[in-house]
Amino acid sequence: MLLAELSNKGVAALTYGLAAIGPGVGIGYLVGQAVQAMARQPESAGMVRTTMFLGIAFVEALALIGFVVFFLAGN
**Residues found near another protein in the complex (CB under 8 A):** 20, 23-24, 27-28, 31-32, 35-36, 38-39, 42, 45-47, 49-54, 56-58, 60-61, 63-65, 67-68, 71-72, 75
Q: How far is the CB of 62 from another protein (least distance, A)?
A: 10
Of 55, 50, 25, the C-alpha closest to 38 is 50
Q: How far apart are CA 14 and CA 59, in angstroms?
A: 19
Q: Which CB atom, from 8 or from 36, has the smaller least distance to another protein?
A: 36
Q: How far is the CB of 41 from another protein (least distance, A)?
A: 12
Q: CB of 29 within 8 A of CB of 22?
A: no
Q: Which CB atom, from 4 or from 34, has the smaller least distance to another protein?
A: 34
Could you tell me how far CA 17 lies from the centroid of its own chain? 11
